[in-house]
């Protein structure tokens, strides 16, 4: 991702193209890779299940081109007060935050992977799992924004 900066020198505008260095969280294609997945569930998640979910989400995020476990941050909030359809039966709300954008097809694939993972790992029925997405061009890391 490049940034364009407009500068004016002696009333003459100039456009400068800036490309952040690879050390700023870019992969070999120059794409930024900073996703965050937060899982809230009213189910109990033992430590070994949390580790399994964290690792599986690291594989699942690759459904979105340029995203990888290398920059993935995962939060798991178990035994969360969560009601769905008026009951406390097992349910989950998964929030996925992405720096940049992703295609609807990639997001649909990721939703399927996340839903399957939580169904298989925690026994939560697929129809009691919500997955929401937030894509942004404003993302801070290491004391500044990209």
CATH number at 47 reads 3.30.429.10
Is residue 14 a part of any domain in this protein? no
- Token readout for 84 is 């769905």
Tell me, yes or no, whether 47 lies in a domain: yes
C-beta separation of 70 from 32 below 8 A:
no
Token digits for 143?
């004391």
Instruction: Give a yes or no: residue 127 inside a domain.
Output: yes
C-alpha–C-alpha distance, residues 79 and 17, integer Å: 48
pLDDT at 74 over 60: yes
Model confidence at 22: pLDDT above 50: no
Is pLDDT of 93 > 70? yes
Q: Is the pLDDT reported for residue 14 higher than 70?
A: no
What is the predicted pLDDT for the residue at 15? 52
d(CA 122, CA 131): 16
- For residue 7, is pLDDT > 70? no
Its domain, for residue 134, covers 27-139
**What CA–CA distance (Å, rounded) separates 17 from 7?**
11
Q: Considering the domain boundaries, does residue 17 fall inside one?
A: no
pTM, rounded to two decimals: 0.78
Domain assignment present for residue 9? The answer is: no
DSSP annotation of 55 reads: H
Q: pLDDT tens across 39-48, in order?
A: 999 999 999 9
80 belongs to a structural domain: yes
CA–CA gap between residue 69 and residue 6 (Å, rounded): 35
Give start and end residues of each alpha helix (H) in the chain. Answer: 47-60, 104-122
Counting Cβ atoms within 10 Å, is residue 69 exposed (0-12), middle (13-18) or buried (19+)? Answer: middle
What average pLDDT does the chain have? 85
Exposure string of 26-48, with b = 16+ CB inside 10 Å and e = fewer, is beeeebbbbbbbebbbbbebeee
Any domain includes 4: no
The whole-number pLDDT of residue 66 equals 87
* Rg of the chain on CA atoms, in Å: 19
Number of domains in the chain: 1
User: 79 in a domain, yes or no?
Assistant: yes
3-class SS of residue 17: strand
């Amino acid at each position: 991702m490049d940034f364009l900066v407009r500068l004016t020198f002696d009333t003459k505008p100039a456009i400068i193209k800036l490309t952040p260095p690879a050390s700023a969280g870019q992969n070999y294609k120059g794409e930024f890779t900073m996703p965050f997945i937060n899982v809230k569930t009213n189910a109990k998640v033992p430590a070994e299940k949390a580790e399994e979910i964290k690792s599986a989400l690291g594989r699942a995020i690759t459904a979105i081109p340029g995203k990888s476990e290398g920059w993935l941050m995962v939060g798991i909030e178990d035994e969360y007060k969560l009601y769905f359809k008026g009951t406390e039966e097992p349910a989950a709300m998964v929030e996925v935050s992405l720096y940049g954008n992703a295609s609807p097809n990639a997001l649909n694939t990721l939703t399927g992977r996340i839903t399957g993972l939580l169904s298989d790992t925690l026994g939560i029925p697929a129809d009691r799992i919500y997955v929401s997405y937030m894509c942004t061009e404003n993302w801070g890391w290491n004391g500044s924004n990209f």
